[in-house]
């Protein structure tokens, strides 16, 4: 089976001499270590962990099934008849991952079929066929399999007028079976590369980039309004917004409630070049997720004015998909006048609308007082965080603040920015941008609804 490894114990079979269990256990598995000048030491089977015992037991069971089918060895001697083996051998394994280390789970499922075919006359021949069916809750087992061979048991809400949820079996060959389909190839390779647990999650969050992947889960862990998500099984996938739409078919097949956190990505309709989002310019969204999936809008003006409820795509089978992208922010500037204003005798600060272009400037606009307080306190920062602190202090207008922020984002490292904030002492006071907050609140509402429909706690009166 290729486990534990070349330097670990080798299997030895030894006669067991204890008479009290001789009738029920005529041989024992021992594990030999050492050798050469050190001498060989044999460990009894009960000195090994339950996971390793399960692995050995399952392999021997598969060999026994195979030999009984082909009527060879002791199985052949005990065969009631000498008729030819049946042409099809069906083997079912229930949750082989029990007590197995994650790596061993993958090794076992990769080699189990080879064990069942490891006899002369079987191999890659077609005269006798073996079919292996394994049920699992392990993402490691699923990851090691060909995705086109997976069958997904999907729960459905009760039919109209009913109270009992139902289920259906989804054949994922429809998603992964076409090797010439570029989208299927991309999704397969991406899931293999990320060791994804989409198949077992309550919900999924597709994230635009590294900064969001670091800070959004932090918001969930630190803020009380997102407490429900801490007890839910959420699959976080860092995938560029321009590629999230490629998962549409898989999400639809799985019926998986999905939040896509992405960027607006405006472009000039004439030149097609990327530009900062602006109203009344006839701009279009470059983001294929916003255009073709959720909410299915092309015009930047339409996307900016869209109600939160209209950003959702709800499916009759009970799940929903929603995009969360940058929304307009009202900024009162200068910041010190907005905070102290009348008490200090200053004129009221002017409020203007700003349109964030990325997650990073959206974080800035939602936390101007946070960055100003850090600057006033002389907090040390590097990269983009330092540029934001300088911009808040030095900007002369709302437009100047936006220009300084955009110039800093172009040259700074986004992951470095997120890590700088994450390890700062005051990160708990950081506020998520409004579009992130609205998206996470939507996800909580959908998961609660799903829980009520698919796993009701009590029967209706």
**pLDDT, tens digit (0-9, with 9 covering 90-100), for 53-95:** 888 889 999 999 999 999 887 666 665 556 788 999 999 999 9
- Around Cβ 248, how many Cβ atoms within 10 Å? 20
What does DSSP say about strands 234-238 and 203-207: parallel, antiparallel, or unpaired?
Answer: parallel
Residue 455: pLDDT band by 50, 70, 90 thresholds? low
- Report yes or no on 393 lying in a domain: yes
Residue 37: pLDDT band by 50, 70, 90 thresholds? low
Are residue 285 and residue 427 in the same domain, yes or no? Answer: no
- Report yes or no on 20 lying in a domain: yes
Are residue 321 and residue 446 in the same domain, yes or no? Answer: yes
User: What average pLDDT does the segment 361-387 reach?
Assistant: 89
- Report yes or no on 9 lying in a domain: yes
Lowest mean pLDDT among 36-45, 196-205, 258-267: 36-45
Domain that includes residue 403, residue range: 329-432
pLDDT tops 70 at residue 440: yes
Are residue 322 and residue 334 in the same domain, yes or no? Answer: no
Are residue 316 and residue 333 in the same domain, yes or no? Answer: no
- Report yes or no on 174 lying in a domain: no
Are residue 321 and residue 204 in the same domain, yes or no? Answer: yes
Are residue 313 and residue 337 in the same domain, yes or no? Answer: no
pLDDT of 247 reads 93
pLDDT of 425 reads 83
Report d(CA 209, CA 194) in Å as an integer: 14
pLDDT tops 90 at residue 134: yes
Tell me if residue 41 falls in helix, strand or coil: strand
- Report yes or no on 171 lying in a domain: no
- Report yes or no on 305 lying in a domain: yes
Lowest mean pLDDT among 24-38, 214-228, 381-395, 431-445: 24-38
- Around Cβ 278, how many Cβ atoms within 10 Å? 15
pLDDT tops 50 at residue 120: yes
pLDDT, averaged across the chain:
85
pLDDT tops 50 at residue 32: yes
User: What average pLDDT does the segment 260-274 reach?
Assistant: 91
Report d(CA 260, CA 268) in Å as an integer: 24
Are residue 316 and residue 341 in the same domain, yes or no? Answer: no
Report d(CA 124, CA 322) in Å as an integer: 46
pLDDT tops 70 at residue 3: no
pLDDT tops 50 at residue 434: yes
What does DSSP say about strands 320-324 and 312-314: parallel, antiparallel, or unpaired?
Answer: antiparallel
Q: What is the pTM of this model?
A: 0.83
| Strands of 10-15's sheet in order across | 10-15, 27-34, 40-44
User: What average pLDDT does the segment 160-180 reach?
Assistant: 86
The domain total for the chain is 3
Are residue 291 and residue 347 in the same domain, yes or no? Answer: no
Q: Give percent above pLDDT 90 in the chain.
A: 52
pLDDT of 342 reads 45
Are residue 210 and residue 352 in the same domain, yes or no? Answer: no
Tell me if residue 338 falls in helix, strand or coil: helix
Report d(CA 267, CA 287) in Å as an integer: 9
């Amino acid at each position: 089976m290729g486990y534990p490894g070349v330097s670990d114990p080798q299997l030895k079979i030894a006669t067991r001499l204890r008479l009290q269990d001789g009738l029920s256990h005529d041989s024992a598995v021992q594990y030999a270590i050492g050798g050469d000048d050190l001498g060989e030491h044999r460990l009894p089977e009960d000195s090994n962990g339950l996971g390793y015992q399960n692995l050995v037991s399952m392999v021997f069971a598969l060999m026994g099934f195979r030999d009984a089918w082909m009527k060879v060895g002791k199985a052949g001697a005990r065969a009631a008849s000498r008729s030819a083996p049946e042409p099809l051998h069906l083997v079912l394994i229930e949750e082989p991952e029990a007590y197995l280390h994650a790596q061993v789970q993958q090794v076992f499922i990769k080699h189990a079929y080879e064990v069942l075919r490891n006899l002369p006359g079987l191999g890659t021949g077609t005269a006798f066929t073996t079919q292996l069916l394994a049920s699992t809750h392990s993402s490691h087992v699923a990851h090691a399999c060909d995705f086109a061979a997976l069958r997904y048991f999907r729960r459905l809400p009760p039919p109209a007028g009913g109270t009992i949820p139902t289920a259906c079996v989804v054949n994922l060959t429809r998603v992964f079976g076409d090797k010439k389909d570029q989208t299927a190839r991309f999704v397969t390779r991406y899931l293999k590369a990320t060791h994804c647990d989409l198949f077992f999650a309550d919900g999924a969050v597709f994230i635009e980039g590294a900064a969001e992947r670091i800070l959004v889960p932090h918001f969930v862990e630190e803020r009380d309004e997102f407490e429900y998500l801490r007890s839910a099984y959420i699959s976080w996938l860092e995938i560029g917004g321009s590629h999230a739409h490629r998962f549409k078919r898989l999400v639809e097949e799985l019926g998986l409630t999905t939040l896509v956190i992405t960027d607006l990505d405006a472009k000039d309709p004439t030149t097609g070049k990327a530009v900062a989002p602006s109203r009344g310019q006839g701009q279009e969204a470059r983001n294929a997720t916003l255009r073709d999936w959720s909410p299915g809008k092309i015009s930047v003006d339409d996307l900016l004015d869209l109600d939160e409820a209209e950003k959702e795509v709800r499916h009759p089978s009970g799940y929903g998909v929603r995009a969360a992208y940058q929304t307009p922010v009202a900024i009162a500037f200068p910041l010190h006048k907005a905070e102290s204003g009348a008490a200090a005798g200053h004129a009221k600060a002017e409020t203007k609308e700003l349109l964030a272009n990325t997650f990073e400037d959206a974080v800035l606009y939602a936390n101007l007082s946070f960055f100003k307080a850090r600057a006033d306190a002389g907090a040390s920062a590097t990269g983009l965080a330092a540029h934001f602190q300088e911009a808040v202090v030095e900007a002369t207008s709302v437009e100047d603040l936006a220009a300084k922020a955009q110039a800093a984002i172009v040259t700074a490292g986004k992951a470095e920015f997120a890590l700088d904030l994450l390890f700062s002492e005051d990160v708990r006071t950081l506020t998520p941008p409004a579009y992130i907050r609205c998206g996470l609140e939507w996800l909580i509402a959908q998961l609660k609804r799903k829980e009520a429909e698919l796993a009701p706690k009590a029967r209706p009166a």
